[in-house]
Amino acid sequence: MTFLKVAKVSTLAMILLPLVAISNEQNRITTVVSAAPTNIKSAPSKLSKRLLVSKAPEADSIDGAHILLVNDVDSSTPKHSFLLLSKPRTYHEAAAACQSMFDSVFLYVPGSPAAAELNLLLKNNAIAQAEVAASTNFWVLNVVAGIECMSLNKVTDKTESLSCNTELPVICVNSAPRRTLNVQEATRQVAVKTAVSTIQGFRDQNSFWFLGIHYAEAPVANLRFAAPVAKVPFKSTLDATAFGAQADEDCLNLNVFTPSLKSRTQKGLPVMVRGSTILFEPGNLVSRGGVVVVTINYRLGLLGFTENPAFSRSDIPGNLAIHDTILALRWVKDHIANFGGDPSEVTVFGESAGAVTIRALLSALSSWDLYSNVISQSDPSDIPFKSAQDAANLSTYFFEALNCGATDLVFARSKSITEILAAQGLANNKMLVEQNWTTIGLVERPAVDGTLIPGEFSDLVKSGKFNLKANIMWSTTKDEA
């Protein structure tokens, strides 16, 4: 175990690290985009922001798709994005493969800005190093009259005419939009087969997106306040072209952002744990770092932190948000290889409230085999986990505000979400007054339960009873507040 204490680490420095991320993103996609009719079963209508296209290519059949981009993180400069299909094909097979990805072979014009960027990427990129190293020549579209099949030599930066039956990787145009949150275009879709289902997402200029993937059954009705239950596999295609519903109890989903599908070498895997707010998607992190990023959603408020020893652990296990996070990490371990990620190299990182969750994961033995590295940003570590007594008091106030008996779980599960939120506010306010606390963040936080979280983190560190195998970076985000 390597433990690093870093005071004042900038956000940019974090972006340059290979990470996996878990978050509760803001759903800002609002426009429905028309597409070709399809017989593929889509997500529920309340989740559908785009329409699935029929006959989307499967990652297995493409056998190596990589988005290459010189990304300077400057939104004001023009960008040229390329799609490398790394499986060697004849020229006409390669052209057909580009078409199947809803684009065409890249027109290589010597001396053009796009050509210069491609030359640079074929010499140095973080995305497809093994695939680029395996070949000297790549199919491009010919600009010379009388020559049918043209290749680009990455060593000389010159084009070469070759037999059309030569098998080479191909450089396609990636004409997907630059900002998918503002530009609603989703015809460039791709499907990934997993043990759970076929998951159909899309790509933009930076990365492939697979959104709103449920890792657990909806925590509603009899599953409200209960431990998360892993999603049952299903045969239909999952519409992963839109974020999960915002402000919905059915929130146990995650998002995958990857620069490569079916790559020779699996990517480092940052999982982000949400903080107070999540405003930006991780496309630049994926594009510049050559990593797969996963952002996860979990239960918040008293839906995620009800903890009362009056109930059996089978009814209300407590620390539900942490249980959710652990189940999401297990989904990552089981399925992320299908998206180009390395399940043995998961880095969990989080800021603010996300860092508190990181602290809980370091304390929870059942999570230790699910990640290798940890980056904690701006953890309010002077705020301890909630005590068992405080957790019990809060739960009692919560059930009283619901007009339930102290242990009437059936009645509590029958309440509307509006009633739940109102009761949560009353219970939180009562705790603030009685404990003389100053912020709601002191109320809704992980609790020492003796099982998942066996003790206060500082005590676990002193006794060596935390995840000693993980590499840990402890940091404060510069200029945060």
| pLDDT per residue of the chain (481 residues) written in tens, 0 to 9 | 444 333 332 222 222 222 333 333 322 222 222 222 223 333 333 334 567 888 899 999 999 999 999 998 887 788 899 999 999 999 999 999 999 999 999 999 999 999 999 999 999 998 999 999 999 999 999 877 788 899 999 999 999 999 999 999 999 999 998 765 555 566 899 999 999 899 999 999 999 999 999 999 999 999 999 999 999 998 889 999 988 888 899 999 999 999 999 876 676 656 655 554 444 678 888 988 889 999 999 999 999 999 887 888 889 999 999 999 999 999 999 999 999 999 999 999 888 888 999 999 999 999 999 999 999 988 888 889 999 889 889 999 999 999 987 778 999 999 999 999 999 999 999 999 988 777 776 788 999 999 999 999 999 999 999 999 999 999 887 776 5
Last residue of one domain, picked from the residues 143, 173, 203: 173
Whose structure tokens read 């491009």? 140
Tens of pLDDT, residues 220-230 = 999 999 999 99
* pLDDT at site 182: 57
Residues 20 and 113 in one domain: no
pTM for this entry: 0.87
CATH number at residue 288: 3.40.50.1820
Q: Which H, E and C letters describe the chain, residue by residue?
A: CCEEEEEEECHHHHHCCCCEECCCCCCCCCCCECCCCCCCCCCCHHHCCECCCCCCCEHHHHCCEEEEECCCCCCCCCCCEEEEEEEEECHHHHHHHHHHCCCCECECCCCCHHHHHHHHHHHCCCCCHHHHHCCCEEEEECCCCCCCCEEEECCCCEEEECCCCCCEEEEEECCCCCCCCCCCCCCCEEEEECCCCEEEEEECCCCEEEEEEECECCCCHHHCCCCCCECCCCCCCEECCCCCCCCCCCCCEEEEEECEECCCCCEEEEEEECCCCCCCCCHHHHHHHCCCEEEECCCCHHHHHCCCCCCCCCCCCCCHHHHHHHHHHHHHHHHHHHHCEEEEEEEEEEECHHHHHHHHHHHCHHHHHHCCEEEEECCCCCCCCECHHHHHHHHHHHHHHCCCCCCCHHHHHHCCHHHHHHHHHHHHHHHHHHHCCCCHHHCCCCECCCCCCCCCHHHHHHHCCCCCCCEEEEEEECCCC
Residues 294 and 376 in one domain: yes
CB atoms within 10 A of CB 250: 17
CATH number at residue 96: 3.10.100.10
Residues 283 and 349 in one domain: yes
Question: Is residue 439 in some structural domain?
Answer: no
| Alpha carbon 251 to chain centroid, angstroms | 14
Tens of pLDDT, residues 317-375 = 999 999 999 999 999 999 999 999 999 999 998 888 889 999 999 999 999 999 999 99
Residues 11 and 86 in one domain: no
Question: Is residue 408 in some structural domain?
Answer: no
Question: Is residue 404 in some structural domain?
Answer: no
Residues 18 and 144 in one domain: no
Question: Is residue 405 in some structural domain?
Answer: no
Question: Is residue 97 in some structural domain?
Answer: yes
Residues 339 and 469 in one domain: yes
Residues 9 and 139 in one domain: no
Residues 156 and 8 in one domain: no
Last residue of one domain, picked from the residues 123, 156, 173: 173
Residues 137 and 72 in one domain: yes
Last residue of one domain, picked from the residues 118, 146, 173: 173
Residues 68 and 140 in one domain: yes
Question: Is residue 193 in some structural domain?
Answer: no
Residues 139 and 19 in one domain: no
Question: Is residue 45 in some structural domain?
Answer: no
What is the distance between the alpha carbons of residues 248 and 250, in angstroms, rounded to a whole number? 5
Q: How many domains in the chain?
A: 2
Residues 21 and 61 in one domain: no
Question: Is residue 232 in some structural domain?
Answer: no
**Domain range spanning residue 78?**
56-173
